[in-house]
A = this chain, B = another copy of it.
């Protein structure tokens, strides 16, 4: 039976994974197609109006037309975010990163979020904002990954199958990571990059098993090729073939056959490193500016009326429109379209029918005379993917001034846009900005001539520039390298890309963190880093643990449980019993005086340190008790009285208090297990308790399935109806607790604790001494860099 269950579960997970990959690709396909149509509609209408106005001198009308298009689109996007689901703002990668790191972010995997994000990004991109659609696609993939394996929807009640296989946070996280990987795979056509993305972001909370990695790769492959299939069908009209490798493709990096050129040579690495340094600096500035902006937004805009955020988005939209329209008019230069044939273009000798048709049609005439194009408009007035390809593969179209001004405007505008209340990806703007930056190196005559670079394929510099800028802003390494390699489909460019990314990251890391991490930090999410600071080696578990325990007894009165749940927000509680009084009286300080009770090498200094620590703990506790609200402390002391009035040997009667008081923390408490908040609420909901005056205490047993029925939205204690609850009953939590979770010894060094916590994806780690007594609890908060540094500082004030 167990075997059949396992087989069924495995089949279901493969099916789920296929569906996740497929749906993610379909959403990406939908987003792409709709954006394509909306943009085409907009550009065609405005261009037609320009053609009319050229002669009637009414360019203002065209601008107004463009602005009204853009503002209408941006308005829809902003409304969806502000009034629909605020979590849909931004790229979504920080949210997914937090989720995969083990932090529960409310609503992050809801259907409503998906809708607002996917529809919102349609309009924010179509509205001409300098945002990408890749980040939102990754988030969408994550939502689908979290949703599909549940086989039910909480938003749409009727959609429900009874397949309760993956109802745990751990399973769900695995599928969310697979979905996010599928999103990456669809967005960049990068199946391997997708897997590595979920490895780099989801990291240790990633399912370790090999099977799961295979499943993940299958998911990204499904996603990539589903999208490829539909794109090939609709764009190339060749259903069944796979000719469109992804939404963001960089074109073919290939030397024209007649020329003896290389993609790069060894000496170019020096220039690539220079580009990387520059990209790192730009990224650093970008992040610094955006940090200020985000702090400003959190301070002023988040608190005022929602309409302010909508207006902000509209303002940015208007600004972008004006810049995108006026710069071509004033700064852009009209150049004959034949230019692209005269200069030694990279693609000039390839079969000329297709590529040049494309590149010509993507050269924007704007207000230039027929047969000419406006170089600034080609960059600003096109969709961003086309502009990227222009920068990568065509040489000589743009003047140095055009590129420079484009870079500056684009840099500032995209920096302004990221973080406003619209769905906004970061990848494409960064790539475009970086590609323009990379072209400086390429068209700067002094550099080119100095190194005699005519034998180098020029697109390489744009690509490296894009990598440098992107690396400087987001600071990812492995997954970004692989994604970019897969986008270029050229393994021989992998070394330059990697070197540039690493250099950019190192340079940028001097001043600040990656933009995603900054946004996570500003939202004060306790993200677990990859490693603890090496200075933490001097600390042990006892130094960082949380000693203000909230615990339950194996047999607790319902009233206490309700009070405990109401007055705390903890997600998990240790189940403990008090030590017998004869031991208690003998060793008040036993809980801190941990090991080698009779050992020879406990020095006096150590004992003194322990005593001092206990004393400070005592003071802290006093403060805490003083601050706690009346009801609970009254309850607590009442219970304490009750407990001490009874005999000590009967656990059922001696353990009715669930609230930790001052005294309890100093008494040694024997650890029995951990119980989750959700289990306690489910027990309350199902009236699992017994009457203490019954002869043989017995309570109902409920099944594991019953416990997970409500996943992921368990009943909240504050919404619960206590009318039919007998508060004097006693609950036996022992059958439902986890009797042997991972624990650590108080003397374990912090790096070891961190490893265990992070690698095993834990949420609570009890600190148990060698007598089996619980001394404290380590949660994610105790392992963040900030907390550890604080502890270190408090111990060594001079440090």
* Number of chain copies forming the complex: 2
CB contact between A756 and one of B554, B742, B768 (< 8 Å): that residue: B742
Is A770 an interface residue when CB atoms closer than 8 A count as contact? yes
**Contact flag A534-B242 (CB < 8 Å), given A266-B229, A599-B554:** no
Q: Give, as a whole number of angstroms, the nearest-CB distance from A670 to chain B.
A: 7
Is A783 an interface residue when CB atoms closer than 8 A count as contact? no
Is A760 an interface residue when CB atoms closer than 8 A count as contact? yes
In Å, the complex CA distance between A749 and B739 comes to 10
**Contact flag A351-B257 (CB < 8 Å), given A217-B478, A218-B502:** yes
Binding stretch for chain B, among A30-38, A324-332, A485-493: A485-493
Q: Give, as a whole number of angstroms, the nearest-CB distance from A240 to chain B.
A: 4
**Contact flag A744-B740 (CB < 8 Å), given A3-B534, A494-B221:** yes
CB contact between A531 and one of B211, B265, B670, B759 (< 8 Å): that residue: B211
Assess the B734–A601 pair: CB atoms within 8 A. yes
Within 8 A of B (CB), among A1-20: 2-3, 6
Is A535 an interface residue when CB atoms closer than 8 A count as contact? yes
Is A148 an interface residue when CB atoms closer than 8 A count as contact? no
In Å, the complex CA distance between A362 and B701 comes to 76
Inter-chain contacts of A477 with B (CB < 8 A) = 210, 214, 217
CB contact between A225 and one of B195, B257, B495, B535 (< 8 Å): that residue: B495
In Å, the complex CA distance between A554 and B770 comes to 16
Is A290 an interface residue when CB atoms closer than 8 A count as contact? no
Assess the A739–B747 pair: CB atoms within 8 A. yes
In Å, the complex CA distance between A652 and B240 comes to 80
Contact with B along A741-756 (1 / 0, CB 8 A): 0111101110010011
Inter-chain contacts of A755 with B (CB < 8 A) = 208, 760
Assess the B265–A240 pair: CB atoms within 8 A. yes
Assess the B245–A262 pair: CB atoms within 8 A. no
Inter-chain contacts of A759 with B (CB < 8 A) = 208, 759-760
Is A361 an interface residue when CB atoms closer than 8 A count as contact? no
In Å, the complex CA distance between A740 and B749 comes to 8
Inter-chain contacts of A228 with B (CB < 8 A) = 492
Residue of B nearest to A537 (CB): B2
Assess the B245–A266 pair: CB atoms within 8 A. no
Is A388 an interface residue when CB atoms closer than 8 A count as contact? no
Q: Give, as a whole number of angstroms, the nearest-CB distance from A152 to chain B.
A: 25
CB contact between A241 and one of B191, B265, B490, B649 (< 8 Å): that residue: B265
Assess the B599–A651 pair: CB atoms within 8 A. yes
Assess the A735–B601 pair: CB atoms within 8 A. yes
Residue of B nearest to A535 (CB): B2
In Å, the complex CA distance between A66 and B617 comes to 85
Q: List 25 A-B contacts (CB under 8 A).
A: A2-B537, A191-B495, A199-B213, A204-B208, A208-B758, A209-B530, A209-B531, A210-B477, A211-B530, A214-B478, A217-B478, A221-B495, A238-B262, A240-B266, A240-B267, A245-B491, A245-B492, A486-B491, A489-B489, A595-B739, A601-B735, A739-B745, A739-B747, A743-B745, A756-B760
- Measured CB to CB, the residues of A under 8 A from B are 2-3, 6, 189-192, 195, 199-200, 203-204, 208-211, 213-214, 217-218, 221, 224-225, 228-229, 238, 240-243, 245, 257, 262-267, 351, 477-478, 481-482, 485-486, 489-492, 494-495, 498, 502, 530-531, 534-535, 537, 554-555, 577, 595-596, 598-601, 649, 651-652, 670-672, 697, 732, 734-735, 739-740, 742-745, 747-749, 752, 755-756, 758-760, 768-772
